[in-house]
Amino acid sequence: DDAECETRIRAARAALGKRCVILGHHYQRDEVFRHADFTGDSLKLSRLASQSDAEYIVFCGVHFMAEVADILSRPDQIAILPDLAAGCSMADMANLVAVERCWRELATVLDPESEVTPVTYINSAADLKAFCGRHGGIVCTSSNAQNILEWSFGRREKILFFPDQHLGRNTGYRMGIPLEEMVTWDFGKPMGGLTEDEIRRARMILWAGFCSVHQMFRPEHIDRFLEQYPDTRVIVHPECSFEVCQKAQYIGSTEYILHTVRAAEPNTRWLVGTELNLVNRLAHEVQPQGKSVHFLSPTVCMCSTMFRTDPQHLLWVLENLVEGHVVNRIKVPDAIAAEAREALENMLQVA
Ligand code: 13P
Ligand code: SF4
């Protein structure tokens, strides 16, 4: 049962001592989150993974995060994902075949190698990060996207941004790039469904990917809430749609959202557009300061793949480690890891 699972996780954890570090993303459920040695957003957790000395890095998050931990850690360190089915549906919206096809199609209109910097959101497979490494590109997260786009525009005049159109559009717009200079690449269509002229005129080419959780938040949800409580502050993740971000006073990563609400004056009201586990925990935490925190959507929307990591899976990997067995290792092939590391190190240097 749950209590027994909890006790056994603590025992296995204690037996492993400093040989193991547990990293927990802010979207993890409480029963898993409470076991994390470090918690954070994607950027913070990648830095922690690169700085950790532990033999085993157990990543309570999703697949691309454990891949990053493997790429950035030493070769003798081992990254583990408690449930291998914990993927990211947005990351899956771009794959190497489709991105290479896009690059080839762009080459019929312009010279991508000198005119386009490929930028991949960290929510992507390792071979796409390697693609960016090969083509002079870079990785970004939701907390450094603006710095990364500035770096990219400093090198080439256009950006190909994948997989999340919303992070790309919201960040570009905040940097002063008008919407008319952004186009959406429909990866199901030849030439992304765009004309040569549209491609030539664009400064940002945005892959048509999106997060199925954040797309559930709608501008009318904000309007309805504000009618009832006009003094509410609206804070959202940049994976939300453009229309939602336009109605928010604060936009940023999960770590930014937590920090902003925690640092605010007491007795303030917040409407938060990001995953439910984070919002529930934050609401509970700041309630004693008189702050009220509300979930942006009237319906429950959780990240079902983040939710896959349950205490049973965590226990299973830890007890196996205690017995000397590594299960659910995430190992990126060396050749891919080397090129992906280049794109990730570009990011860590810029941000
Ligand atoms: P953060 O980097 O803000 O934690 O975001 C990761 C993510 O997957 C958001 O959906
Ligand atoms: Fe991927 Fe969205 Fe889940 Fe984040 S919330 S891990 S972007 S599916």
**What CATH number has the domain bearing residue 197?**
3.40.50.10800
For residue 337, tell me if it sits in a domain: no
Q: Looking at the structure, do residues 203 and 109 belong to the same domain, yes or no? A: yes
pLDDT for 1: 84
For residue 170, tell me if it sits in a domain: yes
pLDDT for 276: 97
Question: What is the tens place of the pLDDT at every residue in 305-344?
Answer: 999 999 999 999 999 999 999 999 999 999 999 999 999 9
Closest approach atom of ligand 2 to CA 239: 7
For ligand 2, whether the C-beta of 89 sits within 6 Å is yes
pLDDT for 260: 98
And the tokens for 149?
A: 């786009």
Q: Looking at the structure, do residues 146 and 80 belong to the same domain, yes or no? A: no
Q: Looking at the structure, do residues 135 and 206 belong to the same domain, yes or no? A: yes
Domain range for 51: 2-87+306-332
- Going by C-alpha positions, the residue among 268, 260, 267 that lies closest to residue 278 is 260
Q: Looking at the structure, do residues 71 and 165 belong to the same domain, yes or no? A: no
For residue 351, tell me if it sits in a domain: no
Residue whose CA is at the smallest distance from ligand 1 atom 2:
42
**Boundary (domain end) residue, out of 211, 235, 269:** 211
Q: Looking at the structure, do residues 313 and 282 belong to the same domain, yes or no? A: no
For ligand 2, whether the C-beta of 213 sits within 6 Å is yes
List, as residue ranges, the binding site for iminosuccinate. Answer: 25, 42, 121-123, 142, 237-239, 254
- Going by C-alpha positions, the residue among 182, 188, 151, 187 that lies closest to residue 167 is 182
Q: Looking at the structure, do residues 43 and 113 belong to the same domain, yes or no? A: no
Q: Which ligand is nearest to the CA of 301?
A: 2
Q: Which ligand is nearest to the CA of 238?
A: 1
- Out of 42, 63, 306, mutate this one to test ligand 2's pocket (max ligand atoms within 8 Å of CB): namely 306
For residue 241, tell me if it sits in a domain: yes
Does ipTM top 0.85? Answer: yes
Q: Looking at the structure, do residues 69 and 95 belong to the same domain, yes or no? A: no
Closest approach atom of ligand 1 to CA 257: 3
Q: How far is the CA of 338 from the centre of ligand 2 (A)?
A: 25
Distance, CA of 119 to CA of 162 (rounded, Å): 7
Q: Looking at the structure, do residues 144 and 244 belong to the same domain, yes or no? A: no
For ligand 1, whether the C-beta of 241 sits within 6 Å is no
Closest approach atom of ligand 1 to CA 25: 4
Q: Looking at the structure, do residues 164 and 225 belong to the same domain, yes or no? A: no
pLDDT for 351: 81
pLDDT for 2: 87
Q: How far is the CA of 29 from the centre of ligand 2 (A)?
A: 14
Write down the pTM of the prediction: 0.97
**Boundary (domain end) residue, out of 177, 211, 245:** 211
Residue whose CA is at the smallest distance from ligand 2 atom 5:
303
Q: Looking at the structure, do residues 55 and 130 belong to the same domain, yes or no? A: no
Q: Looking at the structure, do residues 129 and 198 belong to the same domain, yes or no? A: yes
Question: How many structural domains comprise the chain?
Answer: 3
pLDDT for 328: 98
For residue 346, tell me if it sits in a domain: no
Q: Looking at the structure, do residues 130 and 33 belong to the same domain, yes or no? A: no
Which regions of the chain are under pLDDT 70?
A: none
Q: How far is the CA of 16 from the centre of ligand 2 (A)?
A: 30
